[in-house]
A and B are shown apart, each in its own frame.
Chain A
Amino acid sequence: MPPKVDLNKCDGCQAQDEPLCEQVCPGNLMTLGENAKAYCRELRDCWDCMSCTKVCPKGAIDTRVPYQLGYHGASLTPMMGTNSVTWTCVDLNGNVERFRVKTRGRYGE
C-alpha cells in the first residue's frame, strides 16, 4: 500500500524543487504538490519499497502495510541509525516486534 504523507510534518524539504523522497523513489512516484508537500502521484504503482519512508528526515511518511500482510491497524516503522535500520512491526492485535538490521556501506569510515 502506498506511502501516506503527514502534511503537518512534511516540510517539502524546505521548498526545494526535488524533495528527498522524490530523489530516492525508484519508481519516480513522489513529488511536491502545489501546497509544497510531498505526495505519491500514482498510488497503484508503488512497490512498498519504503525508501521514501526511510529517507524522510522529518519522519513524515508512513507506508501502510498491505492487507495481505496485516489488516488495518498494522504498521511497519523504520528508524534510521548511522549503520543500522531499526524496524518496528505492529500487527493488528497490537503485538510489537522489533528488529535491528545492520546496513553495510551506508556510512563508511
Chain B
Amino acid sequence: MPTKPGIALALWDQGGALARALDLDAFAAALAKLSGVAGLWRPADLEGGLEELAQAFREGRADRLLMLGRATPAQRDLIWRRLSATGLNPHLVHWLDLQEESALPPGFPSEPRRKKALLITKMHLADLRLARPLMPVAVPAEPTALVVGGGVAGLGAALALAKAGVEVHLAERTSALGGKVALLSGFYPLGCDPACGLSFTLEALRATGKARLHTLSELAEISGGPGAFRAVLRRRPGHVDPERCDGCGACAEACPVQLPDLAEWWQDEPPLNAQAFALAGAPAKAIGPTGNPALGTSYRVLRERCPEGCDACVAACPAGAVRLDEDESRLEVGAGAVILATGWDPYPLSRLTEYGYPRSRRVVGNLEMEGLLSERGLPSLAGLLGAEGKPPALGFVQCAGSRDLAHLPYCSGVCCSATLKQARRLKQLWPELTVYIFYQDMRTPGFEEDLYRDVAAMEGVVFVRGLPAGVREQDQDGRLALRCEDAYAGRELKLSLDLLVLAGGMTPSPGAAELGGLLGLPAGPHGFFPAHLQCHPEESGRSGVFAAGCAREPMNVARSLESAARAALAALPFMQGEAWLAPHLPQLDQGKCDQCKRCVEECPFGSWSLDERGFPRLDLARCRQCGICMGSCPLTAISLPNRTVNQTAKAVEVLGEGTAFAGKEPVILAFLCRHDALIAARAAAAAGLALPPGVVLWPLNCAGSLNNALVADALSLGVDGVFIGGCAEDQCHFREGSRLAGRRSRDLGDKLAQMRLEPERVRFAHLGIGDAGRFAELVGEYAAALRALGPNPFRM
C-alpha cells in the first residue's frame, strides 16, 4: 500500500556551523525519528548532493521540504532551480536557519541546545505538515485605464499607458487640458514654455489612437474593484460639438456679451484674482476658446452668461456646431485601474488679510504672475510697473500662507524656485527693475541652487529676511507702501512698490476630497493622498487606485511626470487581461463566522465588504494579503493559506509541550513581523548577540495578523512570556498592523490581570529592521523581568 508522501528533511551545513554547534549525528538521528518525516538527506554539495533529494520528490515519497541550515539567497535560488523540476510546490518549501532562529544559543550546554534545535524544527514541521500547495490566483483585468485629471501628471500617465497598449479614458473637470501647467509662462530652470511639452504629449497621445479625452467630465460613480472597475463619468454641457467646431471664431464675433472680467479661463470658479487675470487679457465673450491656444482650441459657451433667447452664435456658426440645448450626459466606462491625478489648487490668498489680496490690483498671487508674464499679460504688467518717473520696484513674499500653522503647515517645495524664475524673467525684461524677495528661508534643493545663485548675483535683486507688514496703497500714486523688518540688517525698511507677488503654496484640488470619498480613499493629514511615501510612493490606500502628481503631495513638474510614469507602471498589471495575485488570500470559514464585521472595519485597504447574506466577502484584487483580518477575527474564522491560525496553533502546541528545554530559564515566544522585527531578531541571533536561551522566534506576516487566541494558547500552555514585535507605528507597510497589534496586546494584558496573571506576560514592542542590538536588549530585559515574576503557573 503506497504511503502518504511525507516531509523531506534536508540538513544543509556547508559552512559547518551546525556541526560546530551540535552533535550533528545525534541531531540527525533524532530528526529522522520525527513523525511525518519521509527521510533525512544531508546533501554534501550543490551538484550531485541534491540529486537524491530530487529523487524522493520524483518518486512521490515526499511532497514538501524543510531545509535546515544556512544558505545565501543565491544558493537558495540554485537549490530551488534543481528541485522545482520535480514538481515540488514552492509554497511547500521552508528554510530554517537554526542559528538565525536562535536555536543554537552560545553559552547554552550542548544537550539543551540540541533539545532547543529539535523543538524549533518540530514547530516548523508542525506548521509545514498543514501547508497546502498553492498557485497564484488569476483575476480578470480589463485592459482599460481611467485617468482622473487632465493636467501634466494625468496626461503623462495616460501617454505612458496608451503607449503600453492600454485603452485610456481621461476625465478632465474643466473645459481645457493641461491643468495648471498650461497657465505657466515658463519652467525653471531652463525657462521652457510649458505649452511645448504639453502639446508634444497631447500629440503623442492622439497618435496612439488609444486615448479618449473627456473634458468637462467628472467621475460621478465608481463600483467594482481593481481589474474591473465600473465608472460613470458625468459630462457637463459645453454647448459646442467638438467634432464639428473648427475654431473659426465666427460665433465669438457674433456674441453680444462682453464679459466684464474673466469668468472662466481655465475653470468655472477661479480661486485666483479675477482682476489680475482680466489684466492678463483673456477671452471676454460668452462663447469662445478656452485653455492655452497652443494646445488646440476648444470652444464652449458660458451658458449662464447668455442673454435670454439669444442664439446669435447658433446662427453665426457655419458648421452648425453650437448646441444651446445640450444637456448633461453620462458615460459608463470599465477600467482595470484608476489613476488619480487631480492636481492642486493655489492656497486662497485672500485668507492672508495682511496683504490686501485681492482688493488691491497691485497684489497678485504667483500663479497670476505667470499669467502676467505670458505674452498676453505683458502689456498689463508693463502698465503696472510704469509709475511716473519713479524707479520701478516689485516684491515677492515667500511662504505666503505656507509653513504657517494658521494656514498651510507644510512647504510646497516649488514656490522659491518659481519666484526666482519669475525674478530672472522680470530682470531680463526690465533690467532697471528692483526686485525685493521677502523670505524666511530660501529652499532650492538640488541644482535649483544654481538658479538661486544666478538670481542672487543679479544687480537690483534684494533678498530681505523677514516678511512685510502693513501693506497699503498710497493715496497719491496708487503704489504700495510697505514696511518690513530686515532681520539680517537689523533695521526696518520702508518701501514703495509697484506690485507685490504672494508666493502661495499648494492645496489639494477641491474635487479631491469628494473623489477620495467616492473611491473610499483615506486622505493624509493635509488632504493629499500619500500612502507609504518612503517605499511605495505610487500606492494609494486602495489597491488599483494610484496617485500621480500633486494629488499625492506638492511637487514640481518634473517630479509630477515621474510620479505619473511610476503610477502608470504600477497600474499596468491590473490591465493585462488578467492580473496574477499571490496566493495568500484570506479565506473565511462561514461556518464559524458570526458576522461581527470586525474584519470589514479593521482591514486598512477596504478589501472586505458584506455580501447579500451579511457575510464578509473579499475583493481579491484589493487585498494586500497582510492578514490583519486574520488577527482581528474574534472567532478565528479567517486564515491566510499556509499562514493559518491553525498552523501557528499547532506550532505553539509543540512549544507548549516542550517548554522543559529551557530548564529554569523563562520560555519566551517571540512573534515577529517578517518585514522588520524578525529580520532584526535573526540578525541578532546570527551575529551571536546574547539572547536569552529560552527565546523562540516565530514569523508573522504583519504584527497585525497575530490573533489573540494564539497568544492565549501560548500562555495557557505554559509559555512564560509572549513578545510581539511590530514595525514602528507609522511605518507599518500595511498601515494599521502595528497599531492594532499594540492595542490587542493591551486588551489581552487587561485580561491577564483579571486572571491574576501578570499583564507583563504579553509585551509588545516596535522594532526597526536594523534594531538587532535593540532586540537583544529588549528581549534580555524581558527575560529578566520574567525571571523576577517566576514561571507561568500553567507551565508543566
User: Which chain A residues have a beta carbon within 8 Å of chain B's beta carbons?
Assistant: 9, 13-14, 16, 18-20, 23-24, 55-59, 62, 75, 77, 79-84, 86, 88, 90, 96, 98, 100, 106-109
Contacts and interface: CB of A to CB of B under 8 A. Distances in A.
Contact of B709 (A80, A88, A90): A80
Interface residues of B, number: 37
Contacts of A59: 747-748, 750-751, 754
A58 B747 contact: yes
A10 to B, nearest CB: 11
Contacts of B754: 59, 62, 75, 77, 88
B710 interface: yes
B596 A13 contact: yes
A86 B712 contact: yes
B298 to A, nearest CB: 48
A80 to B, nearest CB: 6
B597 A82 contact: no
Nearest to B756: A96
Q: Which 4 A-B pairs give the minimum distances between C-beta atoms? A: A57-B634, A88-B755, A86-B716, A81-B713
A106 B632 CA distance: 17
Nearest to B711: A81
Interface of B: 130, 589, 592, 594-598, 601-602, 632, 634-636, 645-646, 649, 707-710, 712-713, 715-717, 747-748, 750-752, 754-757, 793-794
A98 B635 contact: no
Nearest to B635: A55
B649 A83 contact: yes
Given A13-B598, A86-B712, A88-B755, 7 more contacts: A14-B597, A18-B595, A23-B595, A55-B634, A59-B754, A82-B712, A108-B589
B172 to A, nearest CB: 38
Is the contact region of chain B dominated by helix, strand, or loop, or is it mixed?
Answer: helix
A90 to B, nearest CB: 6
A81 B748 CA distance: 12
B708 A57 contact: yes
Given A79-B712, A82-B636, A86-B716, A57 B592 contact: no
B592 A107 contact: yes
A38 B756 CA distance: 25
Contact of B636 (A9, A56, A58, A107): A107
Given A20-B634, A96-B756, A109-B130, A81 B712 contact: yes
Contacts of B755: 77, 79, 86, 88, 98
Contacts of B756: 88, 90, 96
A109 B708 contact: no
Contacts of B602: 14
A100 B708 CA distance: 16
A59 B747 CA distance: 7
B184 to A, nearest CB: 47
Contacts of B751: 59, 77, 79
Contacts of B594: 20, 23-24, 55
B133 to A, nearest CB: 16
B649 A107 contact: yes
B339 to A, nearest CB: 31
